[in-house]
Amino acid sequence: MEEIRILSPTAILGYGFPMESFVEGMKRKPHVIAVDAGSTDPGPYYLGAGKSFTDYNSVKRDLGIMIPAAIEAGIPVIIGTGGGCGGHPHVEFVVKIIEEIVQESSLSFKFAVIHSELDKTLIKQKLAKGEIEPLHPAKQITEKDVDEAVRIVAQIGEEPYIKALDEGAQVILAGRSYDPSVFAALAIKEGFDKGLAIHLGKILECASIAALPGSGSDCMFGYLQKDGFVLEPLSPIRKCTTLSVAAHTLYEKTNPYILPGPGGAIDLHNCEFTQIDDNKVRVTGSRFVPTDEYFVKLEGVRSVGYRTISVAALKDPIMIEKIDDVVKSVRERVVNNFESYGIKDFFLDFKIYGKNGVMGLFPGSETRVAHELCVIIEAVAATQDQADTICGFARSTMLHFGYEGRISTAGNLAFPFSPSDCKVGEVFEFSVYHLMKVESPTEHFPIIYRQFTNGK
């Protein structure tokens, strides 16, 4: 085989894609349809809550097109990080959707499910052996951290996918995965260069975000040859340029030359990007450098309480001028009030959009103030009732707070919604962000097979 052709329909399963682009992709006779279904970008909540951040109907729409088309063409479908986070409940979320599609379309195929949520006993054993190390800026975990974690998943590499392909799977759904491995697995199985395959996967995982204009809900096509690969968007309104492809290679990376993943890293020091026609780019020179030992990245979260928020706006230029002092005084009043309740362990924050809600980490935010501000009051406490009470008190205190120069005696804040306070629910934080040494890339990631025949 001199070329592997890969169709990436969308940046994340459930984000959608134009049917016209998908049809164009199928015309190019891909050897595999691959899609990334998850990310940590939405934060720790979804991993902790066991919920998908993508909509059930949207995921079903995408898979309802992809799977029947692949079965008809006789090619595999590979889905990574099922349900957005890759834990057991997230994978089951996608399994149920696939079962519905199979029944509704009377499909027949061998189905593989690869799990990557790990048992805490295993994590503790690895910890005791010194086989878990932190990724910056995380600190080393303890057994207590493992016990407190709601769930811990590991980013699998391409090896479990290759094993499922070798055993005849036509549709593969996996838990948390290193994003490029979903796209690189078939190519590596067929003997193509691993560095080129993973680099291509790094770009294809976000589909047409690597094109101009970029889009997370449009298809991208990859052609992998022995000495390089070519990227082609499938919509006539998009183009791949050397700049767009090179820029996306750096997406979410701190080092422009070394891109680490399970078992090694891609070395891009000799990588070259060449415009071969109006909308296609060829990439060469990517090289995979294996590590002496094989590590997978762990992601885990723990519960830290419950959140309530209140959103308000303010226009008074006098209050805007004094907003830092007002926030400080309101915070002190809230803390003082709840000390008498015996409630001291809570989090209270005021996010001021129009001043430093987004740019607060950067210098100069003190002098950049808009003529109107949006204030988000956030309270996190041990129970939802406590969070409700703290947020409500902070909101009412700020609403009627008297500041120097205040003219009106009415409320300071304008609320866009009634009720003004929103119960957000349980709050999670990332507590495990570490590397775990494994003896085999497949040993901790069991594969469950099912045979569907005529929808059953």
Class of residue 189 by CB neighbours under 10 A (exposed 0-12, middle 13-18, buried 19+): middle
Token representation of residue 135: 């990724």
Q: Which amino acid is at 110?
A: K
Identify the pLDDT of residue 348.
97
Ranges of the chain whose pLDDT falls below 70: 360-361, 364-368
Model confidence pLDDT, tens digit, residues 374-400: 999 999 999 999 999 999 999 999 999
pLDDT, tens digit, 9 for 90 and up, residues 214-242:
999 999 999 999 999 999 999 999 999 99
pLDDT digits (tens, 9 = 90+) for 248-277: 998 888 888 999 999 999 999 999 999 999
pLDDT value, residue 366? 65
At residue 365, the pLDDT reads 62
Residue type, 239: K
Cα dihedral sign, 99-100-102-106: positive
- Residue 141: the pLDDT is 95
Q: Which of 211, 201, 206 is nearest to 233 (CA)?
A: 211
Q: Which pLDDT does position 378 carry in this prediction?
A: 98
Give the strand order in the sheet containing 258-261: 258-261, 264-267, 287-290
- DSSP at 196: H
Side chain identity at residue 244, one-letter code: S
pLDDT of residue 300: 97
In the numeric block, the tokens 């769930």 are attached to 151
How confident is the model at residue 303, as a pLDDT?
97
Strands, E assignment, 142-196: 149-154, 171-174
Return d(Cα 275, Cα 203) in angstroms, integer: 16
Could you give phi then psi for residue 148, rounded to 5 degrees? -75, -20
pLDDT value of residue 256 = 87
Structural contact between residues 83 and 124, judged by C-beta atoms closer than 8 angstroms: no
Q: Against a cut of 0.85, is the pTM above it?
A: yes
**What is the structure's pLDDT at 144?**
96
